[in-house]
Structure 1
Amino acid sequence: MSTSEFLSTDAIRRLFAQAMSRMYRAEVPLYGDLVDLVAQINAQVLDTDAELASQLQRNDGRGRLDEERHGAIRVGTAEELSTLRRLFAVMGMQPVGYYDLSVAGVPVHSTAFRPTDAAALAANPFRVFTSLLRLELIEDDALRAQAAAILARRRIFTDDALALIEQAEHDGGLSAADAERFVAQALETFRWHGDATVALDTYHALQEAHRLIADVVSFRGPHINHLTPRTLDIDAAQAAMIERGMAAKAVIEGPPPRACPILLRQTSFKALEEPVHFPDGEGGRAGSHTARFGEIEQRGLALTHKGRALYDQLLTQAREADAAGSTGADYGQRLQAVFVGFPDDHATLRAEGLGFYRYQLTDAGRAAPGRVADLPAERLIAEGLATADPIIYEDFLPVSAAGIFQSNLGGGEQRAYAAHANRSAFEEALGARVHDEFALYQQLQDDSLASLRA
């Protein structure tokens, strides 16, 4: 088969994201309510903010907004992680970034599988935040060995999914018919299974070690635990969630509200308590499990190394004030107070090198190629010959991710781990190096600057 007969990786990714959304809506009905709520908020924002609407239109952002989702999945072994890397590659998704969540009390380290170039992101920016359980952080030797043995026995991919992954790797792609089969088979890995693979006593022992450990080890597969639409106004969406009776988080994770949104803000409603059948003795035993939840996000400007260092410094100040962390009714006020130190207009953010921007000529700029060739970018902007729009942050924040995980695992415990960052071990399990997200944003900015002179 010639490569011209293959379905594009962008198209396969869109098919998979849409199928995942349909499946999750059926499994978690509140997700459907959340998608509808976000669509209403986004329509209101675009009706009242003409500048933002124009910016999204210039950068292919309007078309992707309704489809935009990210999911999260947790796996237990290096083999599972490596096979997921191959599965996502069929959809044009690469591992980007390394996240150590153990520093925030969650015994995993993670990456985000996503498209990496501008055209693919515009086509469909589906992302899956993927975490690998760190069995070495289980202190009980016997429980750690038991968990490893349980995980070694399970198979989370169908035979057909594995065969189609190998076929795509060998042939260089999949036909439309094979892509449909691939999506159907891949979806089985992410499906919820209400039958546990461990006895109830074992499940409780794993929960005592950490509730996330029980979530990863006790089931046939690494069920998708949330699917997240993108809103243009997370504060309005949070208020609407509360008005509709959804059990929303008290605190929105990430930076405070700003005139120039940066990085990522996230909130969620409480996870479902779902019935589970445990294989104990004759007939088994009934129980329940809490892990899957609804989440929304607002994405802003991708920050440079300098901008990210300032963000991390200010976030630490807010969390360490009065040793209160991100708890307490005054956390929002503490966050707002310290972030006064982070510039909140785009001209200053560009001048101080804090964020990444996409530069484009205006109609006036395209009509004056001689002037464009001689003027620096900021002069072009000042004279109306070019625009500089924020490059959207496509990745995640470890403290925010840990905060979302902790709030939705059930229970109130906060495990304390020393920082255990081990990128080399993660990449060995993955079977590949993770991409540097800062380099990807820099390339997008550099390409746009080069296009001004083309």
Structure 2
Amino acid sequence: MTNPEFVSADTIRSDFSAAMSAMYRDEVPAYGTLMSLVKRVNEETLDANPELLRRLAVTDSLDRISEERHGAIRLGTAAELSMMRRVFAVMGMFPVGYYDLSTAGVPVHATAFRPVQEASLKVNPFRVFTSLLRLDLIKDEDLRREAEKLLAERDIFTAGAVALVEKAERQGGLGQDDAKRFVDDVLQTFRWHDKAIVSPEMYARLHDAHRLVADVVSFKGPHINHLTPRTLDIDVVQERMPAEGITPKAIVEGPPQRKCPILLRQTSFKALEEDVSFQGEDGTWHSGSHTARFGEIEQRGVALTPKGRALYDRLLNETRDRCRPAADGSNAAEYLAVLSEVFKAFPDDWNEIRKQGLGYFVYALTDKGFSSASQRLDLEAAIDAGHVRFDPLVYEDFLPVSAAGIFQSNLGDDAAQEFVASPNQRMFERDLGTTVLDEFAHYAGMMRASIERCVGTGTTAAAE
């Protein structure tokens, strides 16, 4: 039984995401500009689309639409990853999914820490895409050993944060004062550090191996590298960014614009070149720069079933076989045209997506259903009779190719390198200290539970 004196994990997560947002807006002013633009576009989109407004009112929390939906950090060691898992657990965030980015030229693998219960998602769906550096993919053995030594010597968590995590685990939660101190202490892990822990020469060696390696190894902590609000029309935001003094990346990652959004679309503004200092062997500080932090936006659609995801992956691969987007954006128009043409093969109608078993939906009784004997109907008959409605289940996770596209465009045009594709979920879960939740099984369970609430246990949906 939960101690009523404890602050709920959902509240701690909400407080943490708000504190992170305030800190990042202060550190990266352009991000505040992006947030304001997203809010205006969302208001305009809802004014122009009553059906979208109705659906979001039913399935989402309208007052949180423009708030941050995720952030991202990059960790260097198994110990950091394991401790971060414990930190996020205090906030009701758990590892969902395994992502191998080595296939796209980025030497990391990752998971997403996020709430998993429907009620918690409605309170605050904040998630953090958390990557672990794959030093085993770096060919230079001497550099790898030196990087491992640097990472082993740093401690990214305050003593206060560790003590409060241990206290929360021991007593099953945190009281009000402890919860506030927890948010304040954990926030220190994500702050920007303008003094590197490596010499200029070492930074150059790490940078030459891969820009992301330099970003992870060269600093005292894993500064948050971006935060991401949710937009309801990503194409409008992309189009308006330059007028706000923000330079967007060349293309929107993910599927094309559609009437019925699927999975996840993302774009960002270019990462900032920021002043940092490097300490030489003689102890003197040298001026330099580092590029890592940016602002991102996302537009989320329906979660796809394994069948739907297989179709999505096939169509995306076909698109990229015909036209691979150039890092400098020189073929952006051609790529987007091919993407739109190829994706005509994916149904753009909610009921067709549902009937073909391509996406996950949540089902609920209508007013008519509440006053009738819908429990005696099967699902399709109940829908046809107007007793049950269905709404797309929002995709709460990530796309490796899209994430890599964002990484590469913001780390620089030369950041994409060749690595041997080497997914290793077993090693990642060993370092994490637990297994990750399978997102497909999770979405299927949420859909199944909604069906049972409407028409009992005797029917299933095609999407399963």
> Which TM-score bucket, shorter chain as reference?
over 0.9
* Separation (CA, whole Å) in 2 of partners of 1:413 and 1:350: 39
What does 1:96-135 correspond to in 2, within 5 Å? 96-135=96-135
CA contact (8 A) 2:274 2:291 kept: yes
Residue 333 of structure 1: aligned partner: 337
Q: How many pairs were matched up?
A: 452
Cα RMSD (Å) of the superposition? 1.4
- Offset from partner CA, 1:181-234 (integer Å, 9 cap, x none): 000000000000000000001001000000000000000000000000000010
Residue 416 of structure 2: aligned partner: 414
CA contact (8 A) 2:246 2:269 kept: yes
Residue 295 of structure 2: aligned partner: 294
- Offset from partner CA, 1:13-38 (integer Å, 9 cap, x none): 00100000000000000111111111
Residue 174 of structure 1: aligned partner: 174
One-letter amino acid matched to 1:299: R
Residue 189 of structure 2: aligned partner: 189
One-letter amino acid matched to 1:132: L
Residue 366 of structure 2: aligned partner: 362
Residue 459 of structure 2: aligned partner: none
The unaligned stretches of length 5 or more in structure 2 are 457-464
One-letter amino acid matched to 2:275: P
One-letter amino acid matched to 2:144: R
- Offset from partner CA, 1:62-121 (integer Å, 9 cap, x none): 143233420000000000000000000000000000000000000000000000010000
Residue 320 of structure 2: aligned partner: 319
Residue 144 of structure 1: aligned partner: 144
One-letter amino acid matched to 1:160: G
Residue 209 of structure 2: aligned partner: 209
Q: Runs in 1 of length 4+ with deviation above 4 angstroms?
A: 322-327
Query: Residues 451 and 224 (structure 1 numbering): CA distance in 2 closer, same or farther, change over 3 Å?
Result: same
SS of 2:289's partner is: strand
- Offset from partner CA, 1:302-327 (integer Å, 9 cap, x none): 00000000000000000111566786
The unaligned stretches of length 5 or more in structure 1 are none
SS of 1:73's partner is: strand
CA contact (8 A) 1:198 1:278 kept: yes
Query: Residues 311 and 51 (structure 1 numbering): CA distance in 2 closer, same or farther, change over 3 Å?
Result: same
SS of 1:276's partner is: strand
In the TM superposition, what is the alpha-carbon distance from 1:131 to its structure 2 partner? Answer: 0.2
* Separation (CA, whole Å) in 1 of partners of 2:240 and 2:45: 14
One-letter amino acid matched to 2:400: P
In the TM superposition, what is the alpha-carbon distance from 1:411 to its structure 2 partner? Answer: 4.2
- Offset from partner CA, 1:140-188 (integer Å, 9 cap, x none): 0100000000000000000000000000000000001100000000000
- Offset from partner CA, 1:238-292 (integer Å, 9 cap, x none): 1111222311011100000011000000000001111001011243100000000
Matched, 1:307 2:308: yes
* Separation (CA, whole Å) in 1 of partners of 2:300 and 2:371: 33
Residue 453 of structure 2: aligned partner: 451
* Separation (CA, whole Å) in 2 of partners of 1:293 and 1:60: 27
Matched, 1:52 2:52: yes
In the TM superposition, what is the alpha-carbon distance from 1:383 to its structure 2 partner? Answer: 2.7
* Separation (CA, whole Å) in 2 of partners of 1:2 and 1:16: 21
Query: Residues 332 and 447 (structure 1 numbering): CA distance in 2 closer, same or farther, change over 3 Å?
Result: same
CA contact (8 A) 2:211 2:411 kept: yes
CA contact (8 A) 1:197 1:278 kept: yes
CA contact (8 A) 1:318 1:325 kept: no
Residue 405 of structure 2: aligned partner: 403
CA contact (8 A) 2:379 2:455 kept: no
SS of 1:425's partner is: helix
Residue 345 of structure 1: aligned partner: 349
Residue 72 of structure 1: aligned partner: 72
* Separation (CA, whole Å) in 2 of partners of 1:248 and 1:449: 42
Out of 438, 441, 448, the position equivalent to 1:439 is 441
In the TM superposition, what is the alpha-carbon distance from 1:384 to its structure 2 partner? Answer: 2.1
CA contact (8 A) 2:378 2:455 kept: no
In the TM superposition, what is the alpha-carbon distance from 1:382 to its structure 2 partner? Answer: 2.6
Query: Residues 114 and 333 (structure 1 numbering): CA distance in 2 closer, same or farther, change over 3 Å?
Result: same
CA contact (8 A) 2:353 2:359 kept: yes
CA contact (8 A) 2:41 2:232 kept: yes
Q: Which of 193-202 and 282-291 deviates more?
A: 282-291
* Separation (CA, whole Å) in 1 of partners of 2:291 and 2:40: 29
SS of 2:155's partner is: coil
One-letter amino acid matched to 1:180: K
* Separation (CA, whole Å) in 2 of partners of 1:69 and 1:359: 24
Query: Residues 13 and 323 (structure 1 numbering): CA distance in 2 closer, same or farther, change over 3 Å?
Result: closer
SS of 2:43's partner is: helix
- Offset from partner CA, 1:415-453 (integer Å, 9 cap, x none): 011211000000000000000011111111011101113
* Separation (CA, whole Å) in 2 of partners of 1:375 and 1:349: 22
One-letter amino acid matched to 2:286: R
* Separation (CA, whole Å) in 2 of partners of 1:374 and 1:427: 44
TM normalised by structure 1 equals: 0.97
* Separation (CA, whole Å) in 2 of partners of 1:10 and 1:244: 34
CA contact (8 A) 2:68 2:227 kept: no
Residue 393 of structure 1: aligned partner: 395
CA contact (8 A) 1:319 1:325 kept: no
* Separation (CA, whole Å) in 2 of partners of 1:121 and 1:2: 19
* Separation (CA, whole Å) in 2 of partners of 1:399 and 1:213: 19
